[in-house]
Amino acid sequence: MNIVTQQSASGAEILLRALKEQGVEVIFGYPGGAVLPIYDALFQQNAIRHILVRHEQAAVHAAEGYARSTGKTGVVLVTSGPGATNAVTGLVDALMDSIPLVCLTGQVPTHLIGNDAFQEADTTGITRQATKHNYLVKRAEDLARIVHEAFHVAKTGRPGPVLVDLPKDILINPAPYTEAAKGPHRSYRPRIEPDATRIADAVALIKGARRPVLYTGGGVINAGPEAAQLLTEFAGLVGAPVTSTLMGLGAFPAANPQFLGMLGMHGTYEANLAMHGCDVMLNLGARFDDRVTGRLNAFAPGSKKIHVDIDPSNINKNVIVDIPIVADARAALRALIDAWKSDPTRQDHAALAHWWQRIESWRRKDSLKYTQSLSPGAVIKPQHAIKRLWEMTRERDTFVTTEVGQHQMWAAQHYRFEKPNRWMTSGGLGTMGYGLPAAVGVQTAYPNALVIDIAGEASILMNIQELGTLAQYRLPVKIFILNNEYMGMVRQWQELLHGGRYSESYSAALPDFVKLAESFHAVGLRAKTIDDLDPVIAEMIATDRPVIADICVDPRENCFPMIPSGAAHNEMILGPEHEDEAAGITDEGLVLV
Amino acid sequence: MNAIMQESLRAATISVLVENESGVLARVIGLFSGRGYNIDSLTVAPVDDDRRRSRITIVATGTEMVIEQIKAQLDRLVPVYRVADLSREGPHLARELALIKVVGAGEKRAEALRLADAFRARVIDATTESFVFELTGATDKLDAFLDLMRPLGLIEISRTGVAAIARGTRTI
């Protein structure tokens, strides 16, 4: 056996050295037996900050919030067994939404693996389908290489969570250090640059379009702020309407007159009808999700479709497209702009003007409208609460996270985002309890920014323990609860699809959120009527501490417009403000979620 | 229900060259179970000197859209070097091996031996009341032989699944 010299670094020290080389500044984590060597090494250095969360799921969401607001890779550190299993929901959330994370998990010593040891779980087995890739470090000499590789895999191509499982003996025993590899990976080589011929074909198709639409998604955000600028430039050249998925909000400025708002199940009338009626669709970094397409065989009938996606497995997965382009959104937009400028073909401006006339007629329907009584004592409409929140914070560089449900959709509809990386929401997985820990991550990255978690009273309770994290690190996150005393989206579906039988959707035995805030050293505020709304928002913004603002809203309000599951874009249900449209929910739709 | 589902099914023979790291087979299999694809056959073994790379041969049935999805999903796995759809990339050879145990006596036993000879199956074990045949060939040849053996005392089968390679000078 080799005698270890004094100079040799332990695996834990080598791990931290690799993290530093990767530019890691902050880790979100929770200690435990298997990761004690890492915590010991963290204690003895100052380069990497550790944020102690109150539950491992929250560590992952916090890292997601950090990653989405900064464009960097989020880092999670949890212990073996329950530490790892608690992280699984967050990992799947990051996988579905393509968020770059590296999750470090402790593991029992290599000689105990497979023995059902205390706090042992088959972490790589459990998380194989929950990560983009995962590793079990079995030899000290692989440790540094695997950590570097994990960051490379997490951030490149379609981003996603990568897990590294670290047996305790690997962390304690000496390990050699290796620097990050410079050359390409042996087997993993994502395609970034688009095929020039396909770009030329795409430009020709768009130039010949009479009714073009740009449908943009989270891929534009993931491609970095430059991609968002290029999107605005390209949209300006084309003159086409732009609609965004939930994940893509902020990539195109909401104030731009070409923006039609969000599309899909709770998208605007004009966005969905533009999708339905277009003759050429350019999908940039979106994946034809079922929440966006509605019934597939009625999706944008007769249109030619161009799909730019960095992940080849997204091409022709749900919708067959005419021109697939595998590329990073930034590289594709750059190439599209260059090809557009060098192509001498002229657009049919008369057709485009006619298309905009139709879009304006749909816009005039004002599908997001609601009626808010301003008379004293009037009940607050949730849409109005979001609208006022936006109006009172729009002058600041505000970051918004959400939980999942009606409040999330109202936030997507009524809060308007002008820049990318300002909107953090759980899209693909739809994880209730996402918003508060995500806000922890955002506020950690931007200590002086206004960070608001738009929440529902049911969702917020799923990770409410993170109020402790806010207090410990003096993170002045504002939790803006639209409290309708129901799991609102469940209640809405029960009203519309299940005969008004509100099975288990009432939020009984709620805490007093004001007192709850106070017990966690935060400030609690409450708005009971319309008279309280603006003062509460103003006080919330002015308070330099964590705040829970409990906004009591109309419990019967539903989120419209709505495309029922299994319906087409032109079968949208509009709200009670619009009585002429009736839409059918089919039996097939009822089995969908 | 829609055009996609009415599309005809095809069996694709897909060769996948992978880094021979722990969990790589579980990753491939998990992909099929997680996304509801059907595997007809799957074989795997290291194929280079230092056993760093393995070749997985998968026979899967699906619509064209599903087969394309399978290939794309396989290709994005980190330890995957290359995915080749042998059934689409030109002529290829596909073989599997079966060990077949037939128990019987008298005329049935003699008939089993005659048929084995006709199929060029080798006898690799024999007792006074049994044979074990070794047969190599395309899947349909093995199927045909097994059908013939059933009434003649077939009691056990072990098949390897398909190994496949392109004809001519092409490589994966």
Known active-site residue A56: yes
**Rounded distance, CA A558 to CA A336, Å?**
40
Length of chain B equals: 172
Search chain B and give the residue with CA nearest A188: B78
pLDDT at A234: 98
Known active-site residue A6: no
CA-to-CA dists, residue A331 to A199, A212, A217, A448, angstroms: 11, 21, 15, 33
Residues of chain B found within 8 Å of residue A312, distances taken between Cβ atoms = 72, 75-76
DSSP string, A404-427: SSHHHHHHHHHS---STTSEE---
More confident residue, A99 or A7: A99
CB atoms < 10 A from the CB of A7, how many? 6
Predicted confidence (pLDDT) at residue B92 exceeds the cutoff of 90: yes
For an interface test with B, give the residue of A187, A318, A591 to mutate (most B CBs within 10 A).
Answer: A187
Mean per-residue pLDDT, B130-150? 97
Distance in Å, alpha carbon of B4 to nearest chain A alpha carbon: 9
**Rounded distance, CA A255 to CA A582, Å?**
31
Look-up: residue for tokens 């025993």? A173
Mean per-residue pLDDT, A247-269? 97
Burial string for A200-218 (b: 16+ CB within 10 Å, else e) reads bbbbebbbebebbbbbbbb
Mean per-residue pLDDT, A262-268? 97
CB atoms < 10 A from the CB of A374, how many? 8
Q: Do B26 and A128 touch (CB under 8 A)?
A: yes
Q: Do A125 and B26 touch (CB under 8 A)?
A: yes
Tens of pLDDT along A429-440? 999 999 999 999
Q: Do B69 and A316 touch (CB under 8 A)?
A: yes
Distance in Å, alpha carbon of A326 to nearest chain B alpha carbon: 12
Known active-site residue A462: no
DSSP-H helix ranges across A156-288: 168-172, 196-207, 218-222, 225-238, 269-277
Q: What is the pTM of this model?
A: 0.95
pLDDT at A589: 55
Q: Are strands A242-244 and B154-159 parallel, antiparallel or unpaired?
A: unpaired
pLDDT band at B1 (very low <50, low <70, confident <90, very high): very low
**Rounded distance, CA B55 to CA B83, Å?**
10
Tens of pLDDT along A6-24? 458 999 999 999 999 999 9
Percentage of chain A exceeding pLDDT 70? 96
Picking from A187, A312, A313, the nearest residue to B78 by CB comes out as: A187
Predicted confidence (pLDDT) at residue A44 exceeds the cutoff of 60: yes
Interface residue ranges in chain B relative to chain A, Cβ cutoff 8 Å? 1-4, 18-19, 22-23, 26-27, 30, 34, 65, 68-69, 72-73, 75-81
pLDDT at A332: 98
Distance in Å, alpha carbon of B162 to nearest chain A alpha carbon: 24
pLDDT at A231: 98
Tens of pLDDT along A177-205? 999 999 899 999 999 999 999 999 999 99
Q: Do B69 and A313 touch (CB under 8 A)?
A: yes
Predicted confidence (pLDDT) at residue A92 exceeds the cutoff of 90: yes
**Rounded distance, CA A457 to CA A511, Å?**
9
Q: Do B72 and A315 touch (CB under 8 A)?
A: yes
Predicted confidence (pLDDT) at residue B19 exceeds the cutoff of 70: yes
pLDDT band at A4 (very low <50, low <70, confident <90, very high): very low
Predicted confidence (pLDDT) at residue A5 exceeds the cutoff of 80: no
Tens of pLDDT along A397-409? 999 999 999 999 9
Name the packing angle between helices A406-414 and A382-393 (round to 10°).
50
Picking from B1, B65, B76, the nearest residue to A312 by CB comes out as: B76
Q: State the catalytic residue, choosing from A72, A132, A155, A168.
A: A168
Distance in Å, alpha carbon of A313 to nearest chain B alpha carbon: 5
**Rounded distance, CA A170 to CA A151, Å?**
19
CB atoms < 10 A from the CB of A274, how many? 31
Residues of chain B found within 8 Å of residue A186, distances taken between Cβ atoms = 19, 81
Look-up: residue for tokens 């280079």? B48
Picking from B23, B73, B80, the nearest residue to A128 by CB comes out as: B23
Tens of pLDDT along A330-347? 999 999 999 999 999 999
pLDDT band at A575 (very low <50, low <70, confident <90, very high): confident
CB A359 within 8 A of CB A270: yes
**Rounded distance, CA A177 to CA A196, Å?**
41
Q: State the catalytic residue, choosing from A20, A45, A118, A193.
A: A118
Mean per-residue pLDDT, A53-68? 98
Lowest-confidence pick of A299-303, A413-417, A582-586: A582-586
Tens of pLDDT along A411-430? 999 999 999 999 999 999 99
**Rounded distance, CA A250 to CA A218, Å?**
10
Predicted confidence (pLDDT) at residue A54 exceeds the cutoff of 50: yes
Residues of chain B found within 8 Å of residue A313, distances taken between Cβ atoms = 69, 72-73, 75-76
For an interface test with A, give the residue of B24, B64, B67, B78 to mutate (most A CBs within 10 A).
Answer: B78
Q: Do B65 and A320 touch (CB under 8 A)?
A: yes
Interface residue ranges in chain A relative to chain B, Cβ cutoff 8 Å? 124-125, 128-129, 132-134, 136, 138, 153, 157-158, 185-188, 296-297, 311-313, 315-317, 320
Distance in Å, alpha carbon of B132 to nearest chain A alpha carbon: 38
The candidate with the shortest Cα–Cα distance to A482, out of A381, A394, A575, is A381
Question: If DSSP states are collapsed to H, E and C, what string results for A343-382?
Answer: CCCCCCHHHHHHHHHHHHHHHCCCCCCCCCCCCCCCCECH
Predicted confidence (pLDDT) at residue A579 exceeds the cutoff of 80: no
Predicted confidence (pLDDT) at residue B170 exceeds the cutoff of 50: yes
Picking from B19, B72, B78, the nearest residue to A312 by CB comes out as: B72
Predicted confidence (pLDDT) at residue B4 exceeds the cutoff of 80: no
Search chain A and give the residue with CA nearest B31: A129
Predicted confidence (pLDDT) at residue B56 exceeds the cutoff of 80: yes
Interface size A-B, in CB pairs within 8 Å, comes to 51
CA-to-CA dists, residue A74 to A155, A194, A328, A578, B63, angstroms: 10, 28, 20, 44, 39
Mean per-residue pLDDT, A482-510? 96
Q: Do B27 and A311 touch (CB under 8 A)?
A: no
Picking from B76, B79, B80, the nearest residue to A311 by CB comes out as: B76
Residues of chain A found within 8 Å of residue B79, distances taken between Cβ atoms = 187-188
Predicted confidence (pLDDT) at residue A41 exceeds the cutoff of 70: yes
Picking from B22, B23, B76, the nearest residue to A313 by CB comes out as: B76
Tally the C-alpha atoms within 13 A of residue A309's C-alpha that lie toward its C-beta: 21
Residues of chain A found within 8 Å of residue B23, distances taken between Cβ atoms = 124-125, 128, 134, 136
pLDDT at B49: 86
CB A107 within 8 A of CB A113: yes
pLDDT at B57: 97
Question: Token pair for residue A128?
Answer: 């194989």
Predicted confidence (pLDDT) at residue A260 exceeds the cutoff of 50: yes
Q: Do A124 and B23 touch (CB under 8 A)?
A: yes
Q: State the catalytic residue, choosing from A265, A275, A424, A489.
A: A489
ipTM above 0.95, yes or no: no
Search chain A and give the residue with CA nearest B69: A313
pLDDT at A3: 44
Q: What is the mean pLDDT of chain A?
A: 95
Q: State the catalytic residue, choosing from A21, A25, A119, A418.
A: A119
Q: Do A316 and B65 touch (CB under 8 A)?
A: yes
Distance in Å, alpha carbon of B90 to nearest chain A alpha carbon: 23
Residues of chain B found within 8 Å of residue A153, distances taken between Cβ atoms = 78
Known active-site residue A118: yes
Q: Which residues contact A161 (CB under 8 A, 6 or more apart)?
A: A60, A90, A91, A94, A95, A99, A100, A101, A102, A103, A130, A131, A132, A154
CB A5 within 8 A of CB A166: no
pLDDT at A587: 58
DSSP string, B54-87: EEEEEEEEEEHHHHHHHHHHHHTSTTEEEEEETT
Residues of chain A found within 8 Å of residue B18, distances taken between Cβ atoms = 187
Distance in Å, alpha carbon of B69 to nearest chain A alpha carbon: 6
Residues of chain B found within 8 Å of residue A188, distances taken between Cβ atoms = 78-79
Residues of chain A found within 8 Å of residue B27, distances taken between Cβ atoms = 128
Predicted confidence (pLDDT) at residue A2 exceeds the cutoff of 60: no
**How many H-runs (helices) and E-runs (strands) does chain A carry?**
22, 18
